[in-house]
Amino acid sequence: MSRPDRYVSFVGIDGDVNARKLMELLRRHIDDPEKTNRFWELFKAKLERIKQPDEVSGFSQDELYLIHAYINNIRELFEVYDDQPALALLDQIEAESC
């Protein structure tokens, strides 16, 4: 099976669905009081604003945008907790959509 080439087209790449799945995996960690910190609490606030576009002066951020903007932080967290499925999905998203 050939892999979609993001430089040719995003056809066949379900970036939004993958981004939402990754956020679910991320939330398993950052919603745990033992694993969160001030950075992740602020990140969760950004996730909540995705649902309220009127409150961000029309600037639309979505899950994929946040992944792209904070990919190194997200990767580090998954590495700390050795979350291999989440790292695999993050690698896929980075290759296909970032």
What are the structural domain ranges in the chain?
19-97
Both tokens assigned to 53: 């576009």
Confidence bin at 97 (pLDDT 50/70/90): confident
Which CA distances in Å does 26 have to 4, 16, 44? 25, 15, 10
Q: Is the pTM of this model over 0.85?
A: no
SS3 (DSSP) at 96: helix
In the prediction, which pLDDT does 9 show? Answer: 57
pLDDT classification of 5: cutoffs 50, 70, 90: low
Separation CA 68–CA 82 (nearest Å): 20
| pLDDT one-digit tens code per residue, 34-82 | 999 999 999 999 998 887 766 555 566 789 999 999 999 999 999 999 9
